[in-house]
Amino acid sequence: MENQGFEDLKKQFAAADVETKIDIYVQREDLTQDQYRELLRMFPLNELKRLEMALAS
């Protein structure tokens, strides 16, 4: 994903609730590995299990 679009997505991700963050993380297919990593750093650690379950399904 191009840089400006990713910056907009990061703002949306930061303001979203956990369920929306999971949806964004799982459904986006145009992100680079580094962009996924950057979003993961913003994800609440206590909710990682929910993200893992969503990625596995």
Q: What is the pLDDT of residues 4-56, one digit of tens each?
A: 999 999 999 999 999 999 999 999 999 999 999 999 999 999 999 999 999 99
Rounded to 10 deg, the angle between the 48-56 and 18-27 helix axes is 40
Q: Is 0.95 topped by the overall pTM?
A: no
Q: How far from the centroid of its chain's Cα atoms is residue 6's Cα?
A: 11
